[in-house]
Structures are given as structure tokens and as C-alpha cells.
Amino acid sequence: MPATKQSKQVDWCLKKALKEIEECNRLGKKPKHRGLVKVEPSAKKAEQHIDKALHDLDALISNKENGFYDWCINIGFYVIYHCFLAIARKFGYESGNQTCTIALIEWLTQKGKIEIDEKYIEALKYKEDIESNEEKIIDLREEYTYSIKISVEEQKINELIDTCKELIDITKNIVLN
């Protein structure tokens, strides 16, 4: 079976992390990386990522109730991201890079290891990575983090909350089964 774009990217991310960790070791620094590392699968650490996603969901809802809609975007992004990190950890990967995490989730989906709707994956991809004019959470996160905008349509926040809740449930089914 020929290598897919995602499998090539996962391989690249694994090599990148190893190279960066080796460089840290060579320099006597604490090992860190911006890629993927193969680790022992850990249901406990996966559950801790789910706990973090739930904590962040509570913060998202609290910020919405208090009118901090711009911060809701940022928090919603991280709810989704922690779900992906939970899945990664379940399958024995630690990620230090959002693009690598997304590639891993796509690759696990392609391999039939997980079942997850593409809409959740696309939510974290930059527009140039996908063929759509739809606003993605990743783009909104950057827009509301680095601009002076504070107003967001309440409907967008409600949709984001629903998406986060759905993905947490899907993640629990993947991680806890």
C-alpha cells in the first residue's frame, strides 16, 4: 500500500522530534521537541487530556455566560486539541506540534484505528490546508487572539460549544473502549 500524505507527515514528525531531542541531549538541555514521539500508550494520560478538555469546556461556557466571547474561541480550540492529544496518547504518541497532531489523527482515521468525522479534523486546519471558505476554529483563534476584536456572534459560540461536547463524547468512546 503506497504511503499517504498523512503517513509521510507522521514519519517526518517522528524524525523531527528525534532529531530535536538528540540535539537537546547533545547540548545538555532538557529534551523537548516540536514533532511526534512514540511512547508507551497510556489510558491514564489520555484520560487526563479528556479531563483538561472538560475543564476547558467549563471555562468556555463560563466565559460565554460572562460575555467574553472572544476568549471562547481560543478556549474552544484547545478543547478540540486536547481531545486529539487524548487520542494520540491512547495510541502511544506524544505531540509537540499541532500540524503533527492533526496528521496523526488523519492517519489513525485512514488506518481504521479510529472513527472520527472529518469536520473535527478540518476545524483545526488552516484554510490553506483545506478547500473551503468556511471559517475554521484555528483561523478564528488567531484572529481573536491577535486582533482587537472582542465581539463574536453568540450563535458561533453556541455551535462551538456543541462541537466541543460532541468531540469530547467521541473521544471518550475512543479512549475508554
Per-residue confidence in pLDDT tens, the chain, 177 aa: 567 888 898 999 999 989 988 898 888 998 888 899 999 999 999 999 999 999 999 999 999 999 998 898 899 999 999 999 999 999 999 998 889 999 999 999 999 999 999 999 988 876 554 455 567 767 777 776 766 677 788 888 999 999 999 999 999 999 988
- DSSP codes joined into one string, 65-121: HTT-HHHHHHHHHHHHHHHHHHHHHHTTEEES-HHHHHHHHHHHHHTTS----HHHH
CATH superfamily membership of 5-26+36-176:
Nucleotidyltransferases  domain 2 (1.20.120.330)
Tell me the whole-structure pTM to 2 decimals.
Answer: 0.88
Q: C-alpha 148: how far from its chain's center?
A: 25
Instruction: Write out the three cell numbers for 117.
Output: 468525522
Number of H helices, E strands in the chain: 7, 2
Question: Quick one: DSSP state of residue 37?
Answer: E
DSSP state of 38: E
